[in-house]
Structure 1
Amino acid sequence: MLLKSTTTKWAGLIVAMVIMLLVMCASVIYGYTETNWRTAIEAFRNYNGSNEHIIIQTVRLPRTFIAAAVGASLAIAGALMQTLTKNPLASPGLFGINAGGGFAVVVAISVFSVNNLQAFNVLAFLGAAIAAIIVYAIGSLGRQGLTPMKLTLAGAAMSALFASFTQGLLVINEALLDQVLFWLAGSVQGRKLETLMSVLPYMGIGWIGSILIAKKMNILSMGDDVAKGLGLNTGLIKMTVGVLVILLAGGSVAAAGPIGFVGIVVPHIARSIIGTDHRWVIPLSGVLGAVLLICADISARYILMPQEIPVGVMTAIIGTPFFIYIARKGFNGK
């Protein structure tokens, strides 16, 4: 832990927020079409309808806000899940959320011929939420109720099941592959502010709820027996965490498709900086998650310019080394 006192933790959180604002500004400015700080400012102060101004207002600004919101949501969801499951590799993908959302979109296109992006968002959120509810219900079966091991196994099983169904539909209908492949890889390209506004209320509830429940998450992290001994209703808290994860991760999948690794990597970085107190981990994870996804999106614009690669590919490239390190550290008990 780098920051130990309350003062330094506040300072670290403020610095992280400043960095987030800077990378958001960079996301608005940098891309295939050359613009600069002055052009960006003029696009909002004296809009003239030029190609540069249109791109800044209608393309880059929405994808910047969406990337920030999705990155923050995935990181906070990952922090909650890692505490809930006692699994250092837990992430929204563990709940089957990504796979459930992807499967819902593929079914909508292949069976019902849906081709509207707004419909994709609604269906992806519903599919993600249903998948998470099924995993939670399966993980709660048995005498001991919801346990970290059962939840992890149920999530892994449902993720594999939905992924298999999705791949099966794509194999049957090759034309479908072209329509959904970019979305399934995770992308904020081409999204509009309306996309974010449709899921922002759910994300907002998730952000606020996660901060409000942070103190109780500290107690839950001590173990169920200790938490019960301190008077905590562990069943209610676990259910609340499950709902918050559905809101955060489900909204993220609906807005940008299934994006991996953010929920795994960022909470570990936040804990290494600010400690294990969830009252600090949750807000810092949100800010760092936004920074990571925005930086990944900026990088995705330049790798194969003039073409762009999905931001989900960039997070995989960035996150894989961290994933390996966390896996080795977690399983070696070091």
Structure 2
Amino acid sequence: MTTTRPPEIPAAVTAPPGPSLPVRRAGAELFDLLLLAVPVLIGVLLVDTLGEANGGGQTDRLVFGGAAALVAAGFLLWNRGIREGRTGTSLGKQWTGVLTRDPDTDGPVGTLRALFRVRTQVVTAREAALDGFAPRPPDTSVAAIRRRRLGGLAVLLILLVLVLLASVAIGARPMTFAEVYHALVVNDGAETDVIVQSLRVPRTLLGLVVGIALGVAGALIQGHTRNPLADAGLLGINGGAALLVVLSIYLFGTSTPIEYLWFSFAGSLLASVVVFGFASIGNGGSSPLSLALAGAAVAFFLQAMVQTIVLLDQTSLDGFRFWVVGPVAGRGFDVFWQVLPFIVAGLVIALASTPGLNVLSLGDDVARSLGTNIALTRVIGITVITILTGAATAACGPIAFVGLIVPHIARAITGPDYRWLVPYAGLLGGVLLVLADVIGRIVVRPGELQVGIVLALVGAPFFIALVRRRKLVSL
């Protein structure tokens, strides 16, 4: 006699009933409201902190208040619209075990209906599972993926423009929008015109190109080493730059960025050559593992040499301390124009090398079978990384976390295709660095917090969150 095995029932269906539906709905609404209140409260605190009594201006309050409002609106759209429309649950509904569905089809309701609560029904997750509710799958067609990527680039460009305008408008000297407009368009030599044109515009443009360079270099480093924790420090680039900067201060008495810029760039180049040479010894070609090991060894040696020099000479210590925190302030157009050709050349070669990097990401054996010259591709990649990171480090010091975090954010949006990942990483790097510079101008007024410190304070918790949520994609 044959017996029919009953179908398995999901755990969510067999779970004992919890609180009543009205209680769960109220809890979900309260939870979502509390999450939405976080950016609003931060915005209110910032606007209050930037009052006239604390040296703030009209532009400062409008920029940061508007930014908080945009963040709150974006979170509302994603949580109560896109997420709930596709999966039936906002963060609050997921936590309380309730679900929004179409009363006619028992399926997802879509973004607009979820956001505006049009013809929706809220039930428990247990009841929805019994009725066969299934989340709406994402559109994975080639056309849909291309649309999402192009739309993301458009959003990033708009965000970048807003951040650049905020960087020009916000500083130690409060300004109105009329004064900022006058400085950018008229520029007849007034006090505010001089401040904007000679101080804020050069530092904004330098922060932009340095952020783009570090973002692209970070994506290339992680791609060539296939190491999700790789950054400029892994290849010893920062260590080489630091050693020659300290030597230039100790031996030649250099004291300004334009004086030790070329020493920093030469140190970056020298360190990359040494690391790549050590990694290639023995088998005629470097591998991701040998690059990482050689880079770590050279970086530790260079760091020890730097520490030795700064402990012996107080002047070298003072100059190194200012350079190592990643300052953008105090750099003029002279520094910007000197590093710009290197960064532009590096970006052009980086974009041209992305197809080869896509092939390398399949593994050396597969790439070799497809006719790729692995050694040449890796030499080009390391050269581009050295040019971009060396120029950025020479201009603003060893700024951390941009090249480490930005590629992960870009990869979460674009996927593993480096033809899209590299441009995304560049734009995200520019946005992140300029935004960190703007934040550093207001948190310790009337002084400033260097951009390297701001990025460390923001980047470390963010990266820990990425690791805990297992967002580090295998490379």
Q: Residue type of the partner of 1:111?
A: L
Q: Does 1:190 align with 2:335?
A: no
CA spacing shift, 1:140–1:325, aligned 2, 3 Å: farther
What do residues 10-48 of structure 1 show as CA deviations (whole Å, max 9, x unaligned)?
Answer: 111111011111100100001111013221221132223
CA spacing shift, 1:40–1:261, aligned 2, 3 Å: same
What residue in structure 2 maps to residue 97 of structure 1? Answer: 237
**CA contact under 8 A between 1:83 and 1:217: conserved in structure 2?**
yes
Q: Does 1:247 align with 2:382?
A: no
Distance 1:22 1:322 in 2: 23
**CA contact under 8 A between 1:89 and 1:326: conserved in structure 2?**
no
What do residues 153-182 of structure 1 show as CA deviations (whole Å, max 9, x unaligned)?
Answer: 111111111111111111111232222311
1:1-334 mapped onto 2 (5 Å cutoff):
5-143=145-283, 145-327=285-467, 329=470
- 1:331 Cα deviation after fit: 8.6
Distance 1:93 1:326 in 2: 20
Moved more, 169-178 or 102-111: 169-178
**CA contact under 8 A between 1:69 and 1:290: conserved in structure 2?**
yes
Distance 2:205 2:473 in 1: 38
SS in 1 for 2:254: coil
| Structure 2 residues without counterparts, runs of 5 or longer | 1-137
What do residues 193-221 of structure 1 show as CA deviations (whole Å, max 9, x unaligned)?
Answer: 11011011111111111111111111110
Distance 1:116 1:9 in 2: 42
**CA contact under 8 A between 1:101 and 1:128: conserved in structure 2?**
yes
- 1:327 Cα deviation after fit: 5.0
SS in 2 for 1:138: helix
Higher percent of residues as helix:
1
Moved more, 44-53 or 80-89: 44-53
Q: Residue type of the partner of 2:383?
A: V
RMSD of Structure 2 on Structure 1 (CA): 2.0
Distance 1:203 1:2 in 2: 37
TM-score by length of structure 1 reads 0.95
- 1:114 Cα deviation after fit: 2.1
- 1:321 Cα deviation after fit: 2.0
**CA contact under 8 A between 1:2 and 1:274: conserved in structure 2?**
no
SS in 1 for 2:320: helix
Moved more, 270-279 or 179-188: 179-188
Distance 1:47 1:201 in 2: 27
| Count, aligned residues | 334
- Pick the structure with greater CA Rg: 2
TM-score by length of structure 2 reads 0.68
- 1:51 Cα deviation after fit: 2.5
Distance 1:78 1:216 in 2: 17
Distance 1:160 1:330 in 2: 29
Moved more, 259-268 or 309-318: 309-318
Distance 1:309 1:26 in 2: 17
Distance 1:38 1:221 in 2: 51
